[in-house]
Chains A and B, each alone.
Chain A
Amino acid sequence: MNKKNILTVQNVVWAAILLAALLATPHFLKFYHQDLLIYLTINVLVVCSYRLVTLTGEWSLIHAVMMGVGAYTASLLFIHFGLDMWFTLPFAGGAAALIAALLCFPLLRMTQFYFLIGSFAAGEAIRLTWIEFVGVFGGTGGLRGVEAPILWGIDFIDPIPYYYLSLFIVSVCLFILYRIENSRVGLTLHAIHWKAPLAESVGVNAWRYRALAFIVGSFFVGLAGGLKVHYLGSVSPNQMGIGFMVFILIWVIVGGYNKFYGPIIGVIVLTVFDESIRTFEVLRPAIYGAVLILSVLFLPLGLESIPGRLRSWFGVGSTPHEPPLTDQ
């Protein structure tokens, strides 16, 4: 890790500009787009937490369901105990982390294709449980009537306060995720991905680190689920199914999963893109599918790799195919 001083004047100025832009954005948008901005903010947390899970090289298909676990936990606590969002959010993350911890024992015995399918099966089983037990989880219709909190006279049901709130929470989570990735733990996760036998031979317990990444990633996505349900007001099994999981995959892959900011770029660009093709309605999934295929075929390292590619095209800077470890 570089111990470079990051508090240079230049960086502080850039950070201030970014912050000002983020704070000003909702004031230029229509009501509907303000909603979308909140979901986008939450989805940034979803893709970044997913990236933590994939750091070890395993792609899970249970992340969307974990978000659902968080959302259902928050909803149940709100509906039955009247707990406010401030109290339901930790439980939402905690429940997802707990389920992830339990699932570690069967799922992390598998790798690669088997882990993919195994996590898909486990997630689908959880999702079908929500559909089956109508009394507790509300069946296909799901749960509704969850409300945003009120604090110091601010009603967070309004999009702008809720946006600021979620922006704050997501930023804190992103900071933690970033620190995890750039800590010794993060380096070990990279090592397990690229050289698992070597890492194990120097005494790294690969299982434990994979479990850690899975549990922490699930915690943050559970939290994102709680954050979403308190604004949206309802949660249903279909909302958290394989369909949403596919979107997470698309965002991460189109953005590029080798860098921390890759998935963030992916989710922002594709959300804006999705809005701009809203007029095509029925065709939208197909356009998404085509974008996915084209980006896998022609831009396998994602949007994030474009600047590097351009630089190497003009013969300045490094090649874009550097292994991810070198940017540490």
Chain B
Amino acid sequence: MELFLLSIVNGLIQGGFFALFAVGLVLIFGVMGVVNFAHGELVMVGAFTIWLLHAQYGLGYIPAIMVAIILVTIIGLLMERFLFRPTRSDPLAGLICSIGVLFILQVAATLVGGDGPSKQVPPPFEGTLVLFEFLRIPYQRVFSLLISVTALGTLWFFLTRSKFGWALRAVAQDREAASLQGINSNRISIIAIGVGAALAGLAGGLVAPLTNINPHMGHNVIITAFIVTIVGGVGSLLGAVLAAVLYAMLHTFMTVYFGGTIATICGLILMVVVLIVKPSGIMGVRVSE
């Protein structure tokens, strides 16, 4: 029972983290139609920035997160301008380009951090929140959950209440029709990848103190992001958030009882099943050709 409650809470926290980068992937795919294979590496760069600035050079944790977000956003913007925009007519070309970026970022991280073992960042927030005698959550995780929820809430508000948000959703639905309405789709693409990359940088910043940081950590991130995106429905942000929380719960429980590899295998099988049974995902809408 205690393990059960603890797993639920951990699942929620993990879910918030999953949602942060999955939503970014969905945004980029929705608006630009390109699968950003380097999305996991964006998270990795965020985490590495924290390690370098906070753990090595002693910059405060919050300012380090800020720098991480800005740095990753810039990488995202460069990718849009120089890779995704010229290859817009061919989605496969965009995907291949992002694989190239993946290699380059991994090497950059290796050059910065060295070839050695995985890096660790000591948690900046010490102490534990004691809800009950058996339910103790480190403040670091509480902070991570709060920030993810705030970021996702802000994004939701931005997309549904602001003019830019409406324009962005319009481009995601129908690029041509949106252009006819006078929406500058290039600017919207920039905003989409900027927001997506910023969220990835934030996710990297939040996860840095909770995990082992190495240049190849993006691999697991991108697998998770794919599972969450497909299960949630490719175009649906709400679906992605819901699927992130559900998958995080599932993954946490499976890991506790069967181990991490089995948990990931189950996630992948779940994804294939969703692709067969309901390709539009749990929150997706069927679009006729």
> B-contacting residues of A (Cβ < 8 Å)?
59, 106-107, 109-110, 112-114, 116-118, 120-122, 124-125, 128-129, 131-132, 242, 246, 249, 253, 282-283, 285-286, 288-293, 296-297, 300
Contact = CB atoms under 8 A, between A and B. Distances in A.
A232 B24 CA distance: 41
B265 interface: yes
A246 B104 CA distance: 14
B87 A296 contact: yes
Contacts of B230: 117, 121
B268 A125 contact: yes
Contact of A121 (B92, B219, B268): B268
A297 B83 contact: yes
26 contacts: A59-B92, A106-B275, A106-B276, A112-B91, A113-B35, A113-B91, A116-B35, A117-B35, A117-B271, A121-B268, A122-B268, A125-B269, A128-B264, A132-B262, A246-B99, A282-B110, A286-B103, A288-B103, A289-B100, A289-B104, A290-B100, A291-B100, A292-B103, A296-B93, A296-B97, A297-B87
Q: How many of chain B's residues touch chain A, expressed as a range?
A: 35 or more
Contacts of A291: 100
A206 to B, nearest CB: 15
Given A132-B265, A297-B83, A114 B99 contact: no
A109 B276 contact: yes
Given A118-B275, A121-B275, 7 more contacts: A107-B272, A116-B35, A128-B264, A242-B219, A285-B104, A289-B100, A293-B83
B90 interface: yes
Nearest to B91: A113
B145 interface: no
Given A122-B268, A242-B219, A282-B111, A292 B90 contact: no
Nearest to A280: B107
B75 interface: no
Contacts of B234: 113
A113 B269 CA distance: 17
Contacts of A117: 35, 226, 230, 271, 275
A253 to B, nearest CB: 6
Q: In this complex, which of A116, A129, A132, A289 has the most chain B Cβ atoms within 10 angstroms of its Cβ? A: A289
B27 interface: no
A121 B226 contact: yes
Interface in B57-115: 83, 86-87, 90-93, 95-97, 99-104, 106-108, 110-111, 115
A297 B226 CA distance: 26
A253 B261 contact: no
Contacts of A128: 261, 264-265, 268
Contact of A114 (B86, B261, B275): B275
